Amino acid sequence: MSGNSLYGPLDPAPDAGYVDAPARMGFFTDTSICIGCKACEVACKEWNGIPDDGFNLLGMSYDNTGSLNANTWRHVAFIEQPVPEKTDIRWLMSSDVCKHCTHAACLDVCPTGALFRTEFGTVVVQEDVCNGCGYCIPACPYGVIDQRKDDGRAWKCTMCYDRIGSGLMPACATACPTQSIQYGPLDELRERAEHRVDALHATGVSEARLYGNDPNDGVGGDGAFFLLLDEPEVYGLPPDPVVTTRDLPKMWRKAGLAALAMGAAVVAAFVGGTR
Partner 1 sequence: MNADCVIIQGSNMAEAHPVGFQWVVEAKTRGARVIHIDPRFTRTSAIADTYVPMRAGGDVAFLGGVVNYILSNEKDFREYVLAYTNAATIVTDGFRDTEDLDGLFSGYDNETRIYDPTSWQYAGQEPEGDRQDQEMQRATASPQQHQSHGPGVPGATQRDETLQHPNCVFQILKRHFSRYTPEMVEQSTGVSREQFLDVCRAWTDNSGRERTTALVYSVGWTQHTVGVQYIRTGAIIQLLLGNMGRPGGGILALRGHASIQGSTDVPTLFNLLPGYLPMPHHEQHETLRDWIDAFRHPGQKGFWGNAEAYAVSLLKAYWGENATAENDYGYAYLPRLTGDHGTYQQVFNMIDGKVKGYFLLGQNPAVGSAHGKAQRLGMANLDWLVVRDLYMIESATFWKDGPEVETGEIVPERCRTEVFFMPAASHVEKEGTFTQTQRLLQWREKALDPPGECRSDLWFFYHLGLRIKQRLADSTLARDRAVQDLAWDYPTHGETVEPSAEAVLREINGYDVATGRPLSGFAELKADGSTACGCWIYSGVFADGVNQANRRTPGREQSWVAPEWGWAWPLNRRILYNRASADPQGRPWSERKAYVWWDPDKGEHGEWTGYDVPDFEKTKDPAYRPEPGTSGPAGLAGDDAFIMQGDGKGWLYVPSGLIDGPLPTHYEPAESVIRNPFYGQQDNPTRMVYDRPDNPMNPSPPDANSAVFPFVFTTSRLTEHHTAGGMSRTLAYLSELQPAMFIEVSPELAAERGLTHLGWAHVVTSRAVVEGQILVTDRLRPLRIEGRPVHQVWLPYHWGGNGLVTGDSTNDLFGVTLDPNVLIQESKVGTCDVRAGRRPVGPASLAYVADYRRRAGLAVGEGSES
Apex CA 195: angle with CA 166 and CA 63, to 5°?
Answer: 65
Binding of partner 1 by 244 (CB under 8 A): no
Question: Please, which of residues 159-218 interact with partner 1 by CB under 8 A?
Answer: 177-179
Q: List, in sequence order, every residue forming a beta bridge with 97; answer none if it has no partner.
A: 74
Binding of partner 1 by 45 (CB under 8 A): yes
Binding of partner 1 by 147 (CB under 8 A): no
Judged by CB under 8 A, the residue of 3, 17, 82, 272 near partner 1 is 82
Binding of partner 1 by 54 (CB under 8 A): yes
Closest distance between partner 1 and the C-beta of residue 251, in Å? 41
Binding of partner 1 by 158 (CB under 8 A): no
- Which spans in 176-247 are helix H? 186-202
The site that binds partner 1 (CB under 8 A) totals a number of residues, namely 33
Judged by CB under 8 A, the residue of 6, 8, 18, 61 near partner 1 is 61
Closest to partner 1 by CB, 122 or 180: 180
Closest distance between partner 1 and the C-beta of residue 85, in Å? 14
Tell me the CA distances in angstroms from 260 to 29, 163, 253, 270, one per residue in order.
Answer: 49, 51, 10, 15
Q: List, in sequence order, every residue forming a beta bridge with 228; answer none if it has no partner.
A: 209
Closest to partner 1 by CB, 23 or 42: 42
Residue 24 DSSP code: P
Closest to partner 1 by CB, 19 or 202: 202
Select from 39-47, 110-118, 126-134, 245-253 the region that touches partner 1 (CB under 8 A).
39-47
Are 139 and 125 a contacting pair, CB within 8 Å? no
Per the rule left: phi > 0, alpha: psi between -120 and 50, beta: everything else, 107 is alpha
Q: How far apart are CA 18 and CA 142, in angstroms?
A: 27
Side-chain half-sphere of 18: how many Cα atoms within 13 Å? 16
Name the residues that contact partner 1, by CB under 8 A: 33, 35-39, 41-42, 45-46, 52-57, 59, 61-62, 64-65, 80, 82, 87-93, 177-179
